[in-house]
Structures are given as structure tokens and as C-alpha cells.
Structure 1
């Protein structure tokens, strides 16, 4: 049988001085997909919606990768001093890409800012800076410790529950933004003990969509985290034939 094809967006760096513009992607994303039996393809920041539509006709799912911050000014909010916006070309593409993915109900997995984007495109919103928006929250980013971790509280019967099961679970954490209001059609399936949302899953019929705030592809992830990619691939396999029939 042919391998499921999964499209990944990538980060983007503008040209500076004598250095040309380039795209970059942490290898952990495609390594995890390869490990579970997918065929990953990296998508450049396309400008034409019809090109995105044509691309989605030929893939079985989409992985929205992590990165810097979504620019709140694009959603009518002020720019918080802590926000480090994505490159404009990447964010413009990512927002269009995610919108079309959601409209077509393409199987999708968002990680980090990818989960935040998924929630935003579907009608939710974001906390711009956890220390100010959620007083008393645990640290979710430690500039001195790139391996910073915290525990999770997981919803029973969720994908996260199938992946991790019982027992204490600790996941990596290096974010300062987070989901505030959850988009309609999604439910929270994992939280940090302080209430910060760490995973969401779609409850829209016939659409596999999920997101994690933590990074299961990273070197700081646990061995169990690869199971999240297996769940994503199973969801993509179940839904992909219907997706390719969408006009």
C-alpha cells in the first residue's frame, strides 16, 4: 500500500543584507512522520489559493508546525511587547493554508503555534501573554532551561488518553501565548494543572483535527509522544479518501 502523504508548512526567514531569504524546518517534524510510515512533503509559502487547493487534492493530511508568534494585530488586537511575530510571508500563507484546510475538513494536526492557528481560524482566540492573562499560572517558558517541562491533566476517552494512559505525564513547554476561548467544534483534551490548554480535538463529524501546545516532535519529548503521530496518521488514513472528493 502507498504511504499517506502529509503536507507540512515551514518557517520562513526574510532576506537580510547579503543573505537570501530561505525556508527552514526542524527535522523532528518530518522524522516523526517518517517513523510512523508517512511520506512528508514540505510546502513553500504559496501566494495563490488555487495552488493550495491543488496541493490539498493530492495529500492525505496536513501538519501545521510550530514557530514564533501569530501577530495579534491581524485579529484586531494590540501588539504585546512579548510577542515575536512570524515572518509576514509565512503568517500570510499559514492563515490562508489553515483556513482552506479547515473549510475542506482535511485531516490536520497543529503543534505549538500550529494549534493556536487552528483554534483561531475556527473562531477561537488567544491569550497574548500567560503571565499577565492568567495570574498565578505555572511557568510555561524558562529562558534558562530549554528542557522545561510540566505535568498534564488529560480528558478521559480522548486521543491524549489513548496515547498516554494513566500515570503522571510531563511534557515540554516553551510558550508564552495560549488558547483562551476554544473554537466551536473543538474540545479541550489536556490542560496544565494551572488550567492552560495543552491539547484540543475536533468534535466535528467526519473531520480528524487535533492540536498540542507541547512539541511531541522535539528532542525533549518522551518516547510515548511518537504515538500522537501514529494517531494522526490513523485519522488521516480514515478521512483522506473523502477529502479528495471535496470540490
Structure 2
């Protein structure tokens, strides 16, 4: 594509019809607002199982943001449910998995956030801790049901996208998760952790794929000006790919 403003796809969440309300798709405004502010054009895609339509839509996109949300169903990957899980609707997860497979095959630039990063890691061959409190009992709290603006500190690798964003010094990011990456997928490396060791960001080491994931939420209402720069770095990387100068984050 030759547009100076890249088209960035964004998936959406889904709520089924209830007694007096129809089914809805919805999206936190921070995702598309920050893509717009960074110079991209957000293209919001509702869940669908029409593979041909998804393929046609992906043909027109330059990059993709995979949003956060509720928990992925571990049964889709051969594991058992955990009692702490609140599963995203199957309509959304089915669509998201089709999209991630398309992204992978195309080596499309991608930014995965929260559950989006977790799915990217799973599809590429990694796996997850299904409950931090149970699997990593010495970890600090990574979510607070009483405080949606809960933040914790972060330790970043300097030679990475998140390193370029945050630089040196004390860093605190918005955290709202109970699942986390266990084994990192082949071809990716860890570029940020919470001081307790929980993985908070991964980035592709593959020369032909600009792919980044954050477990924390740079789009949320608690985000700082530094957090929002993640979207700027991502959109800039997509633009470089448009011109044939692929952003490398190794």
C-alpha cells in the first residue's frame, strides 16, 4: 500500500443478546483514539466466521492491533478450564484466532495488548499461566477489582521498542490481568517484566516480522503520555514497512 496514513485493523469484543437488549460489539475508545493520534487510520472489525470476508479485509490493512479482554478458552489448546477464568465469548475468540493466523501468514505488523498478546503467544507455540495467584504465589498483585486504574512497576530491556518508549528510570504501567505468559513462543523474546518476574512485553526476533505484545494496557484511562508512545512507535514501524524499510526490534 502507498497511503501515508496506514490502515490499522482492530478487533472488537462481543456481548450476546440478552432479554431486552440486542447483541453488541464494543471497543474501548483508547485503542482507536491512540491509533488516530499516532497517525494511523483505525479500521474496526466485528467478530465474524466468514473466512473469505476476513481474508479480503486483511488484504487492505497495513497492520493490526489485537485488543485485551476476558480470558481465552484453554480447551481450544488442549488444556482444562481454571476456576478463576471468565471466558470471552466464543464468537470473538473464533474470529480472533482466524485473524491471528492471517497475521502470522502475512507477517503483518501487529501490536497485541493483554489477551491479544496472550493469543499471539499461544498461536506461535508458547503457553500461559492460567492464574498468577495460584501459579506464582510470590508475585505482586497484577489486578485490583477495587481499582481499575491499578499500576505496577516495570523493568524493560533497553534494546527494544518498550525500551525506546520508556528509557531509564522508574516506570509504572496499568495492570489488569490474572493470566500471564509462561513459555515464550519461538521467535519472540521478553522485553519487559514486572520486578516479580511476570512477563509484561514480548517482541519478535524474526527479521521479517514486526510484532510486539504488551500484557499491560497503554490504551486505558490510567495510561501516561509515555504509555501512549507505544502506539506511536507501532504506527511508525508500520509506515516504515510500507516504504520497504522494515522496523527491526532486535
Please give the TM-score of this superposition, normalised by the length of structure 2.
0.94
- Rounded Cα–Cα distance in structure 2 between residues aligned with 1:123 and 1:52: 23
Does the CA contact (< 8 Å) of 2:8 and 2:43 recur in 1? yes
Does the CA contact (< 8 Å) of 1:61 and 1:240 recur in 2? no
| Match among 179, 188, 213 for residue 190 of structure 2 | 188
Match of 1:103 in 2: 105
Segments of 5+ residues of structure 1 without an aligned counterpart are 243-247
Cα drift, residue 50 of structure 1:
2.1
Match of 2:44 in 1: 42
- Rounded Cα–Cα distance in structure 2 between residues aligned with 1:18 and 1:131: 37
Taking a change above 3 Å as real, the CA distance of residues 240 and 50 of structure 1, as seen in their structure-2 partners, is farther
Taking a change above 3 Å as real, the CA distance of residues 76 and 241 of structure 1, as seen in their structure-2 partners, is farther
After superposition, the C-alpha distances for 1:54-79 in whole angstroms (9 at most, x for unaligned) are 11111110000011110111111111
| Match among 54, 71, 74 for residue 72 of structure 1 | 74
Cα drift, residue 153 of structure 1:
0.7
Cα drift, residue 18 of structure 1:
2.8
Cα drift, residue 240 of structure 1:
4.1
Match of 1:137 in 2: 139
Q: Which moved more, 1:232-241 or 1:192-201?
A: 232-241
Match of 1:227 in 2: 229
Structure 2 counterpart SS, 1:99: helix
Structure 2 counterpart SS, 1:97: helix
Cα drift, residue 2 of structure 1:
3.5
Match of 2:60 in 1: 58
- Rounded Cα–Cα distance in structure 1 between residues aligned with 2:238 and 2:4: 13
Q: Does 1:208 align with 2:210?
A: yes
Does the CA contact (< 8 Å) of 2:180 and 2:198 recur in 1? yes
Match of 2:247 in 1: none
Aligned length in residues: 242
- Rounded Cα–Cα distance in structure 2 between residues aligned with 1:50 and 1:235: 28
Matches within 5 A, 1:13-32: 13-32=15-34
Does the CA contact (< 8 Å) of 1:123 and 1:184 recur in 2? yes
Cα drift, residue 238 of structure 1:
2.2
Structure 2 counterpart SS, 1:201: strand
Segments of 5+ residues of structure 2 without an aligned counterpart are 245-250
Cα drift, residue 156 of structure 1:
2.1
Superposition RMSD in Å: 1.2
Match of 1:115 in 2: 117
- Rounded Cα–Cα distance in structure 1 between residues aligned with 2:62 and 2:239: 7
Match of 2:248 in 1: none
Cα drift, residue 239 of structure 1:
2.3
Please give the TM-score of this superposition, normalised by the length of structure 1.
0.95
